[in-house]
Amino acid sequence: MPKITVLPGDGIGPEIITEAVKVLQVIAEQGNASFTFEQFPVGGVAIDQTGVPLPANTLEQCKSSDAVLLGAVGGPKWDTLPGELRPEMALLGLRKELQLFSNLRPAKVYDALIEASTLKREVIQGVDLLVVRELTGGIYFGEKTKVETEQGIKVTDALTYTELEIERIVRLGFETAMKRRKKLTSVDKANILESSRVWRAVAEKVAVDYPEVELNHMLVDNCAMQLVRNPKQFDVIVTENMFGDILSDEAAMLTGSIGMLPSASMGTGSVGMFEPIHGSAPDIAGQGVANPLATILSAAMMLKYSFGMNEEAEQIEKAVFNVLEEGYRTKDLATEDSKVVTTQEMGDLVVHALKS
C-alpha cells in the first residue's frame, strides 16, 4: 500500500493540498489501489511548532514513505528570520536528504486556457513538453572563489559534473521520453564548454540503450529561442542545472498560468517529491480562491512517476481538461465568460469529472 507523506506547508498550501488528496482518494476508490496519507508540518508552520523549518520527525516520515506531496512554504511572517531558519530551507533539506537529483517540469497548453498565454495561438496550441533539469550539480554547487587582485575582486563559480552525475540525469531523460512521445532533446553549450562536450558524449553513450528514442542535441541559446519560436517541436528536454533553471521557467510561461503547473523531483532513492511550481501565495491565502489544479496535476505526476499508474494519471489530466473545457475557472484564470469557482469547488468538479 503506497504510503504518501503530505506536507501542506504555508499560505495556500493547506487549501490546495486538501483538493489533491481528495482526488487521490477517488482514484483509490475507483481502482484497486489504496494509499495511506500522513500529514506533517514543514516550512513556516513547522518553525512555529518546533523552531525549525524541517523537523527531524517530518524528514524521517518522508524518508520512510513512497512519495511526498508538498503544498508550498514561506510567507511574510518568517521573512525576517536568518537565512538558515527560513521556511524555504526545508525544500533544500528535503532535496538533499531524499537525494533528489532531478526536477521534472511539464508545460502543457490547454486549449481552454490559450488566451492566458502571451504568445500567439498558432505557436502554442498543442504544446506538450517536459523539462528534465539536473538539480544537485553544476555551477550552483561548484567551488566558489573570491580574491582581491590589482583589478579588483576576482571571482569564480566552478561548473563541475562527474560522468556518473550526467549519466543518471540523461538516463532519466530517456526513461521519461519512453513514457511520452520518445523524442529527447539534450541541451548544452558544447561549442564552448568542456563540461558540455562530456555531457554530449555521455548522452550519445546512453542513447545506445534506448534505440526507440530519437535523440537530438541543441545549444542552449538556440533552445531558448526555439522555445518561443516553435515550442511544439519538443517532447522531453534534458539539461544541466543552470540551463534547466532558466529554460524550465521560460517553458512554464508558454502556458501563462502559474496555478496550473506541476512538478516532480526524483532521485537516487525511491522517494519522489511532487509539488506545484508556485509558492505559498500569502496574498490570497485563506480566501478559498487559490487554484488547486497545479497540485492536483502534481498528484497525477506522482501516480505516473512513483507508482507507474499511467492510466490513472491520464484520467486526472483528462478530468482537469474537461472541467476547463466546461468553462470553470478559479479567480486567477477567470475571464468575462468563465464560471468562477472556489478552490474547493474546483476540487469537487475534478472529482465529479473523474467519476463520470
Report the catalytic residues: 140, 189, 221, 245, 249
Binding mask of the shown chain, residues 79 to 118, with x at each position contacting ligand NAD by CB under 6 A:
---------x--x---------------------------
- Residue 78 beta carbon to ligand NAD: minimum distance, rounded to whole angstroms: 8
Shortest gap between Cβ of 146 and ligand NAD (angstroms)? Answer: 26
- Exactly one of 279, 305, 319, 351 binds ligand NAD (CB under 6 A); that residue is 279
Give the interface segment with ligand NAD, choosing from 122-130, 150-158, 159-167, 281-289 (CB under 6 A): 281-289
Which DSSP helix (H) or strand (E) runs through 183?
Answer: strand 183-188
Asked if 283 is part of the footprint of ligand NAD (rule: CB under 6 A), the reply reads yes
Find the part of the chain contacting ligand NAD (CB under 6 A) among 108-116, 184-192, 225-233, 280-288: 280-288
If you write DSSP's letter for every residue of 33-98 in order, what string do you get?
---EEEE---THHHHHHHSSSS-HHHHHHHHTSSEEEEEE---GGGTTS-GGGSTTHHHHHHHHHT
Total site size for ligand NAD, rule CB under 6 A: 22
Supply the DSSP symbol for 179: T
Q: How many CB atoms lie within 10 A of CB 171?
A: 16
Partners of 129 in the β-ladder: 107
Are 81 and 293 in contact, with CB atoms under 8 Å apart? no
Beta carbons of 181 and 108 less than 8 angstroms apart: no
Alpha helices in the chain, H assignment, sequence order: 13-30, 44-50, 56-63, 89-97, 121-124, 163-178, 194-207, 220-229, 241-255, 293-305, 310-325, 343-355
| Spatial CA neighbour of 186 closest among 160, 209, 207, 162 | 207
CB of 328 to ligand NAD, least distance (A): 14
Kindly write out the interface string for residues 115-144 of this chain, putting x where it contacts ligand NAD by CB under 6 A and - elsewhere. Answer: ------------------------------
**Contact call for residues 106 and 70 (beta carbons, < 8 A):** no
Binding residue (CB under 6 A) for ligand NAD from 73, 98, 341, 346: 73
From 93, 142, 282, 288, residue interacting with ligand NAD (rule: CB under 6 A):
282
Q: What secondary structure letter does DSSP report for 331? A: G
**Burial degree of 283 (CB within 10 A; 0-12, 13-18, 19+):** exposed
Cell numbers standing for residue 46: 513547522
Determine which residue in the list 75, 231, 262, 347 makes contact with ligand NAD, applying CB under 6 A: 75
- From the CB of 90, what's the least distance to ligand NAD, in Å? 8
Q: Are 293 and 116 in contact (CB under 8 A)?
A: no
Decide: is 6 part of the binding site for ligand NAD (CB under 6 A): no
**Stretch touching ligand NAD by CB under 6 A, among 32-40, 73-81, 152-160, 214-222:** 73-81
Alpha-carbon span 289 to 330, nearest angstrom: 6
- 7 CB-near residues (< 8 Å, 6+ apart): 13, 17, 39, 40, 41, 42, 43, 58, 62, 68, 69, 70, 71
> Shortest distance, CB of residue 167 to ligand NAD, whole angstroms?
28
- Regarding 241 and contact with ligand NAD (CB under 6 A), the answer is no
Residues 253-272 binding ligand NAD (CB under 6 A) are: 258-259
Q: How far apart are CA 240 and CA 255, in angstroms?
A: 23
String of contacts with ligand NAD for each residue 285-324, x by CB under 6 A: -----xx--x------------------------------
Q: Which of 157, 332, 345, 348 binds ligand NAD (CB under 6 A)?
A: 332
Residue 108 Cβ vs ligand NAD, minimum distance, rounded to whole Å = 16
Residue numbers at the binding site for ligand NAD (CB under 6 A): 12, 16, 72-75, 88, 91, 258-259, 275, 278-284, 290-291, 294, 332
